[in-house]
Amino acid sequence: MEFYVRIVRAEGQVLLSACDSSLLGKVFRDDGAVLNVSESYYGQERVDEERLRSLLQEATIINLVGEDAISVAANLGLCRPDDAKRVEGVPHLNIYYL
């Protein structure tokens, strides 16, 4: 599995945004909700599952899009797949450690 990630470090926080590589550049719409998996936001770096696991463990704010990305986080005990909201069937999940 491959993913695209964006990492922002500021004021002691680490924001990780990650998506399944197959979703990059796509827009999903459902009942007025829009999920834009833009290259400018998510496409900073392409990583494998091992690297995503490492990034998830150091992040304090996490934004995930896609079945695979959420599955990796769930396998680390960070969330449950059922916690995700769906837009046009695509899961999206935010996790905050404040």
pLDDT tens-place string over residues 3-61: 999 999 999 999 999 999 999 999 999 989 999 999 999 999 999 999 999 999 999 99
Structural domain that includes position 78: 2-96
CATH number, domain with residue 85? 3.30.1860.10
Q: How far apart are CA 74 and CA 24, in angstroms?
A: 21
Number of domains in the chain: 1
Q: Cα–chain-centroid distance for residue 50? A: 15
Please name the residues in contact with 80: beta carbons below 8 A apart, sequence gap of 6 or more.
74
Q: What is the pLDDT of residue 15?
A: 97
Instruction: Check pLDDT > 80 for residue 98.
Output: no
Q: What is the pLDDT of residue 97?
A: 84
- Write the DSSP assignment of 7-75 as a string of letters: EEEETTEEEEEEEEGGGTTEEEEETTEEEEE-HHHHTTEEEEHHHHHHHHHH-SEEEEESHHHHHHHHH
Instruction: Check pLDDT > 80 for residue 91.
Output: yes
